[in-house]
Structure 1
Amino acid sequence: MNLKPKVDNIFDLLKNNKKIIENYFFMTILQVLNSFFYLLIYPYLIQVLGVESYGLYVFATSITTYFIFLINFGFDFPATKAIAENIENRNKIQETLSCVFTAKVYLLLLSIVIISFLLFFVPFLKQHFILFIFSFIQVISFIIFPQWFFQGIQNMKIITYIQLIIKIISLPFIFYLIKAPSDINWYVLIVSLSSLFGGIIAFFIIRFKYNYHLNFVKKSSLEKWFRDSFPFFLSTSAGVIKEQSIAIIIGAFFGMKDVAIYDLASKIVIIPRTIFMSINGAVFPKLVVDIKKSRIKKIINIEILMSLGVVLFITIFGKLIVEIFAGYQMNSAYPLAILLSFTVMSWLVVGAYISFVFVPSNKYYLVTKNQIIALISFLIYLAIGFFFYKNIYVFGAAMALSGLTEILYCKSVTKKYQLL
């Protein structure tokens, strides 16, 4: 049996998709680095800050995430697409960078008004004024750190190097300054300044390495960007409300310890989820300009199998992971992690439908409808769950069932409009 032709085909496949493989590798490293870094220092933080203070940090981060998504406004997909389709057109790339930058500055000003109102009129936020201000600082990095630009030009290794350097630099500050629960404000400030510093580095790389200027543009030039991004903003907002509201609801009705427990369960799931989710992001820039339906179907089927593997892995090893990172005091995170592991399938499969089916077909409204359905179904499942049980496991079950509902919706509308 002559294996040489098959070996040659494999090498040709790797050679022809070198950029995709490289992009996937660095996107995966980036996501794993971000997730594993905070999981790595998790035992130390839980020990010195305590469960309550750490839960407060998660609570503040959840609120900040709302503003991050408001500022991003769903620009990432249209912007990445614009960069990938005009990779040789410097004027178009310059225009894309400047328009998105200007739009985000306007949204930052709106966010400052909103957070100021909340900090002065919501008693709990006012009580922890400094902590929430420090947490809010990190939203600035999402204006000057256009990850979508590097994704569009398929050069994610720069982002990975920046994040790695920043994480390493922040470690000594964390271990030196964070010694007690009262140091929670210092920890939040370190996290935010690390993010901001990374954004500044990326800003200078775009300006001096790639020689692009980020200029303010007229409001009239932003209309198209807001219009095209609005469906993604709606869909992202629905997802943010669904995910981030959990920490806020748990904090308000159960306590900060339960916030920390849910956060640990989420962290366990996030690492395998982000490893596989990078596939869609890495393939998107190339596949969006060369759509092949058979390839899309194959990607979706492979992602279903991978996600089932994640569920099996967390079921077998999840309890051990919880005990290693947090000890027996947070064993409740194990059943939650199993429930949340089922959301990996929805993240992967729905992400594939959005990236490779809805966006290339310009069916942006289907993205919005999908996330609205996901949010509504989550709230319905949550209400039903709380009718019978009043514990934090209901959140995990509602998330899993909501994800399944998303997949069924994507399959049905794809079949209805014959998109695949």
Structure 2
Amino acid sequence: MKDKIVDLVSRNIRLLKNFSYLSVIQLINILIPLIIYPYLIKVLGEDTYGNVIYAQTIIGYIVIIINFGFNITATKEVSVNRDNAENLSEIISAVYAIKSFLTLLSFGILLIYMSLSFEGSQNQLLLLFTFSLCLNELLFPVWYFQGIEEMKFITIITLVGRIIFFVAIFLFVKEKSHYLRIPLINGFCALVTALISLYIIFVKNGLTLILPKFSRVFKFFKDAIPIFVSEFSVKTYLGTNKLILGQLSGMRYVAYYDLAEKIITAIKVPIKIAGQVILPKISLDKDINFIHKFFKYSFFFNVTSMLLVLFFGKYFILFLGGEGMLPSLDVLKILALTIPIVAMSSIFGLQLLIPIGYINYFSKSVILSAILYIILVFGLYIFNEINLMSLSFVNVLVELFGCLILYFGCRKYRLI
């Protein structure tokens, strides 16, 4: 038994290292916002904090546009060409060219939206400042470091940025009128981490930016479209709930939903980490048996996590937001049902269908899920039943629907 364990560890040492690094990253990204959450709620209040989250939700759609699916497609390309510096330089150059164009296009769309918006100038200014979050998506090449499986760089860079953010929030956000400083702090941290990562790529690793061939750029753009469509569709049924609540119920309800979502996101961290770690491995060796073994452990872990939230969710709410945020509890219990569902969807889609080559099927499944979301929300609107609870149930139903489609796809292509 001991020899088997040693052999298993030795054969997957890189996976274990990357899992450790990504665990640190996700803990940093989840814990720091949760730690400062009680402080921001106390200083800003539910309504103002809801405005900040509302702006971040809108910019979240732009982040998806700028990312354009490269977190998967570019990671795969870098993984395959990791030992060829010339190809890596061309890949990086092509991806940055596309991202730069999409950033300018998105900023133009945002300016048009703000000019047509009937909201107050302060809310428009908040939205403009929050756009600075896009600097991280434009410049920080997570896809490169994932592709070469050097997660330690992402870990160090992320740690630096989050520490700066943590300290700056307590130093510069001390009253409700300081809410505009939050996106500016985020933007500054994004710029710092981006500059560090660019130094590593172009100075330490010796890669260069070149003028990529149009055919190469077009190919990258075309290959990423299915992933972009799927990720934008996912954003539709995961992020739109807060926009709807902000428009129809008030920013206080955005804060309620956001707290429950933050807790569930923290619980789902292992799912995300595992997917990021094993994607390069599966892209290279197409080891389906490895995924089958992984599925068993993943399902058990995530069912246990769901039960933990169902039984102890109240204490999570009280610890983070106090009694004033208890309306989040029912939302939290409903969204907890998505934990094992999302885990299975991740395996069926991101670890089986995409690496094996069935990207189009994956994209179609997500688009269908987004269409179902729109239909359900429209039905709730017609019958005047839009509220925290109903939108939370819609989220669960859509996630379950998407998971089933992915499952049948894996059966269709004999992957399970």
State whether structure 2 residue 203 is matched by structure 1 residue 226: no
Letter in 1 for 2:409: V
Letter in 2 for 1:370: S
Number of equivalenced pairs = 415
Q: Secondary structure at the match of 1:298?
A: helix
State whether structure 2 residue 319 is matched by structure 1 residue 324: yes
CA separation in 1, counterparts of 2:183 and 2:287?
45
State whether structure 2 residue 199 is matched by structure 1 residue 204: yes
CA separation in 2, counterparts of 1:408 and 1:125?
43
Q: After the TM superposition, which of the residue ranges 77-86 and 216-225 deviates more from structure 2?
A: 216-225
Alignment of 1:230-269 (within 5 A): 230-269=225-264
For residues 184-229 of structure 1, the C-alpha deviation after alignment (integer angstroms, 9 at most, x for no partner) is 0011211221122211111111111111123343433211011110
Letter in 2 for 1:409: I
CA separation in 2, counterparts of 1:406 and 1:99?
32
Q: After the TM superposition, which of the residue ranges 34-43 and 216-225 deviates more from structure 2?
A: 216-225
CA contact (8 A) 1:120 1:126 kept: no
CA separation in 1, counterparts of 2:318 and 2:76?
43
Q: After the TM superposition, which of the residue ranges 59-68 and 347-356 deviates more from structure 2?
A: 347-356
- Change in Cα spacing, 1:388 to 1:7, as seen in structure 2 (3 Å) is farther
Partner of 1:418: 414
CA separation in 2, counterparts of 1:361 and 1:131?
43
Alignment of 1:62-211 (within 5 A): 62-124=57-119, 126-211=121-206
Letter in 2 for 1:140: L
CA contact (8 A) 1:101 1:216 kept: no
Alignment of 1:266-305 (within 5 A): 266-305=261-300
Match of 2:369 among 348, 355, 374: 374
CA separation in 2, counterparts of 1:252 and 1:215?
45
CA separation in 1, counterparts of 2:119 and 2:296?
46
Structure 1 position 56, deviation (Å): 0.4
For residues 341-378 of structure 1, the C-alpha deviation after alignment (integer angstroms, 9 at most, x for no partner) is 22222332222222332223321111211111211222
CA contact (8 A) 2:256 2:325 kept: yes
Partner of 1:306: 301
**Structure 1 runs of 4+ off > 6 angstroms?**
none
CA separation in 2, counterparts of 1:311 and 1:208?
45
Partner of 1:3: none
CA contact (8 A) 2:32 2:166 kept: no
Alignment of 1:337-352 (within 5 A): 337-352=332-347
CA separation in 2, counterparts of 1:193 and 1:349?
37
CA separation in 2, counterparts of 1:25 and 1:100?
27
Letter in 2 for 1:193: F
Match of 1:396 among 384, 392, 397: 392
Q: Secondary structure at the match of 1:87?
A: coil
Question: Quick one: percent identity of the two aligned structures?
Answer: 29
CA separation in 1, counterparts of 2:213 and 2:287?
38
Letter in 2 for 1:392: L
Structure 1 position 388, deviation (Å): 7.7
RMSD of aligned Cα (Å): 1.6
Q: After the TM superposition, which of the residue ranges 261-270 and 134-143 deviates more from structure 2?
A: 134-143
Letter in 1 for 2:391: F
Q: After the TM superposition, which of the residue ranges 121-130 and 93-102 deviates more from structure 2?
A: 121-130
Structure 1 position 408, deviation (Å): 0.8
State whether structure 2 residue 337 is matched by structure 1 residue 357: no
CA separation in 1, counterparts of 2:81 and 2:212?
20
CA contact (8 A) 2:342 2:403 kept: no
Letter in 2 for 1:326: G
- Change in Cα spacing, 1:171 to 1:414, as seen in structure 2 (3 Å) is closer
CA separation in 1, counterparts of 2:211 and 2:105?
17
CA separation in 2, counterparts of 1:170 and 1:216?
35
TM-score (norm 2): 0.96
Match of 1:26 among 21, 30, 42: 21
- Change in Cα spacing, 1:118 to 1:126, as seen in structure 2 (3 Å) is farther
CA separation in 2, counterparts of 1:412 and 1:126?
49
Structure 1 position 288, deviation (Å): 1.9
- Change in Cα spacing, 1:64 to 1:216, as seen in structure 2 (3 Å) is farther
